[in-house]
Amino acid sequence: MATKLERTAADGLLDTLTIRPMTPAIGAEIFDIDLSAANIGESIPALRQALLAHGVIFFRDQTLTEEQHIALARHFGDLEIHPATPKDQENPEILRIAHGPKSRGQENSWHSDVTWRDKPSLGSILRAVEVPEVGGDTLFANMHLAYENLSPKMREFCEGLTAVHDIARVFAGRLGKAPEDLHEKYPPMSHPVIRTHPETGKQTIYVNTAFTSHIEGLSAKESRWLLDHLFAAASNPEIQCRFRWQKGSVAFWDNRLCQHFAASDYYPARRVMERVTIAGDKPFYRKSA
């Protein structure tokens, strides 16, 4: 049954958002809203509240153009231009992710977007342009619940650690560039292993299989063991939701809270998605009160 997220006139919002949670842990579908509407700005505070409450929010049957997609994302902050975006692209804020018979999907690892930046992404808005008949789902994991599932002693140990995030782990091969060339513009970045969400104050595990290379201050063997343990935390089905895409579906997720995994089970079918990424702030850890 769909539920209502109440909104007040003082907030300058519409009467309600119709929301149906996907799971108790993460994710919600939002109905009866047109993201391309001229007055969508009136709904932004409620959508932000829904994002903070559910980690990722989904919309069906949307008809966003590239320009409307960009305009929607700009309501939430400044936008990033990804290094994988062609320099001559008309709308450089759009990252096009296309796979088919000649290009198998490569996003099938648990990750949070662009953690290799000094100030990683606040969130990402992904739009389905072309989807396979079956397969190609995206899974999302609540990394605050992953943190809560750690033992108190493990939490205490991890809270003092930092880890290095490196763009070259993924994009050196994809962009055909040497790691040192990528590092000239995007040097490896150190972030806390446990990150404090800047709006909710929740603690989250902030390492991921795609971009995290090692934990600072530990031996290589110790770092590998601990990272493997923390990486595995995302794979618990009880902290996940799974979204089946349709053409026109839109997902908006909070990169500060969740990780995602794009299933590459649809090869050789074609899947085309377009993403706009919202800039964030520098990760920090603040001990809970």
Per-residue pLDDT band for 63 (boundaries 50, 70, 90) equals: very high
70 pLDDT higher than 70? yes
43/222 Cα distance (integer angstroms): 47
How many Cα atoms are found within 13 Å in the side-chain-facing hemisphere of 163? 29
- pLDDT (tens digit per residue) in 84-118: 877 778 999 999 999 999 888 888 899 999 999 99
Using alpha carbons, select from 114, 207, 109, 111 the residue that is nearest to residue 164.
Answer: 207
Per-residue pLDDT band for 214 (boundaries 50, 70, 90) equals: very high
pLDDT of residue 3: 47
209/221 Cα distance (integer angstroms): 16
pLDDT of residue 103: 86
- pLDDT (tens digit per residue) in 169-204: 988 878 888 889 889 999 999 999 999 999 999 999
Domain edges within the chain: 14-278
User: Please, what is the average pLDDT of the chain?
Assistant: 92
Q: What is the pTM of this model?
A: 0.92
- pLDDT (tens digit per residue) in 245-280: 999 999 999 999 999 999 999 999 999 999 999 999
199/90 Cα distance (integer angstroms): 34
Using alpha carbons, select from 30, 76, 66 the residue that is nearest to residue 50.
Answer: 30
164 pLDDT higher than 50? yes
Hey, which residues are catalytic here?
111, 113, 260, 275
pLDDT of residue 171: 85
Strands of 67-211 (E only): list them: 94-99, 123-130, 138-142, 162-165, 189-192, 194-196, 203-205
- pLDDT (tens digit per residue) in 2-29: 444 433 333 333 346 889 999 999 999 9
pLDDT of residue 1: 42
Record: fold of 14-278: Double-stranded beta-helix (3.60.130)
